[in-house]
Amino acid sequence: MSRDENIVVKECIEVLELFGFYAFRNNNIHAPGRTFNGKKGSSDILAISPEGLFCAVECKKNDGKPSKGQIDFVVEIERRGGYGVIVKTSEELIRYLKERKSVLNKS
């Protein structure tokens, strides 16, 4: 992950916390000499919403593209009723959360 993505991850965690989420960085990088035991495609940030819903945020730098596994992961979280999104900026995350909150309030 590039430094740019690290900044986006940090900013997105701050946004989630401002929205009342319990959020943390999910380090799921394969390291030499270490067996990867994580979920393939799992997002950079995992969180629990104030309503108790699972949240996954994948952060990308401006020219970054998510892998198929990353796309599949957030789609599955959304399909099951959680928050699943891929963003390039914290502003994109804010828009997503506001739209999602509006949808949840209509239910």
Q: pLDDT at residue 68 above 60?
A: yes
How many separate domains does the chain show?
1
Cβ proximity of 22 and 48 under 8 Å:
yes
30 is a domain residue: no
Burial of 80 (0-12, 13-18, 19+ CB in 10 A): exposed
31 is a domain residue: no
Look at residue 103 in the predicted model and tell me its pLDDT.
Answer: 67
Mean pLDDT of 92-102: 91
33 is a domain residue: no
Q: pLDDT at residue 12 above 90?
A: yes
Domain containing 54: what range? Answer: 3-24+39-106
What CATH number is given to the structural domain containing 62?
A: 3.40.1350.10
69 is a domain residue: yes
Cβ proximity of 53 and 81 under 8 Å:
yes
76 is a domain residue: yes
